[in-house]
Chain A
Amino acid sequence: MKQEIKNEQINTAVHAPVVAKQRKKLTKSSSIPGWLFASPWIIGLVLFYAFPLFSSIYYSFTTYSILQPGEFVGLENYYKLFNDELFWKSIYNTVYFAVFFVPLSIIIGVALAMMLNMKVKGMAIYRTIFFLPTLVPQVALAVLWMWLLNPGFGLVNSLLDVVGIPGPNWLGSELWSKPSLILMSLWAIGQPVIIYLAGLGDIPNELYEAAEVDGANWFQKTISVTLPLLTPVIFFNLVMGSIGAFQQFTLPYTMTQGQGTPANSLTFYVMYLYDNAFKFFKMGYASAMAWILFVIIMALTAVIFITSKRWVHYQGK
Chain B
Amino acid sequence: MSINKMKFLVFLLMFISFGLITGCSSGDQTSTGDSNADSGSGGGKGKTTITFWHSMTDTSGDAVEEVIKEFEKQNPDIKVNASYIANQGEGQNEKLLTAIAGGNPPDVAYFDRFEVASWAAQGSLEKLTDLAESSGITQDKYYPFSWKEASYEGDLYAIPTTTDSRLLFYNKDQFEEVGLDPENPPSTIAELEEAAKKLTIKDGNRFKRIGFIPWYGQGWFYGWGWSFGGKFYDSSTQTATANNPKNVEALQWITDFAKEYGVEDIAGFTDSQGSGAMDPFLTGQLSMKIDGNFGVASIEKFKPDLNYGVAPMPTPTGDNFTTWSGGWSVVIPKGAKNKEAAWEFLKFFGGEEGQKIFSKISRDFSVIDSVNEELGYKDDPIFSQFIKILPESHARPVMTQGSLYWNELASAVEGATRGNGTPEEILTKVNEKVNSALKE
Contact = CB atoms under 8 A, between A and B. Distances in A.
Nearest to A264: B411
A173 B264 contact: yes
B9 A32 contact: yes
Interface string A245-282: 00000000000001101111000000000010011110
Nearest to B94: A278
A243 to B, nearest CB: 24
B274 to A, nearest CB: 11
Nearest to A152: B272
A160 to B, nearest CB: 13
Can you list the 7 inter-chain pairs with the closest CB atoms, starting with the nearest?
A152-B272, A172-B267, A169-B268, A151-B268, A278-B94, A263-B418, A67-B122
A171 interface: yes
A302 to B, nearest CB: 33
Contact of A263 (B13, B124, B271, B411): B411
A85 B91 contact: no
Contacts of B429: 85
A314 B403 CA distance: 54
Interface residues of B, number: 43
Interface string A120-153: 0000000000000000000000000000001111
Contacts of B123: 67-68
Contact of A169 (B97, B124, B271, B401): B271
6 contacts: A66-B98, A151-B268, A174-B418, A279-B93, A279-B403, A280-B404
A226 B216 CA distance: 55
B9 A66 contact: no
Contact of B272 (A36, A150, A281): A150
A172 B118 CA distance: 32
B3 interface: no
Given A66-B101, A68-B122, A280-B403, A150 B271 contact: yes
B58 interface: no
Contacts of A40: 16
Contacts of B101: 66-67
A222 interface: no
Given A29-B5, A66-B98, 9 more contacts: A37-B12, A66-B97, A85-B429, A169-B265, A263-B415, A264-B414, A279-B403, A280-B401, A280-B437
B288 to A, nearest CB: 20
Nearest to A43: B16
Given A36-B12, A169-B268, A279-B92, A67 B97 contact: yes
Contacts of A66: 97-98, 101
A33 B265 CA distance: 68
A279 B410 contact: no
Given A67-B97, A67-B101, A281-B122, A172 B268 contact: yes
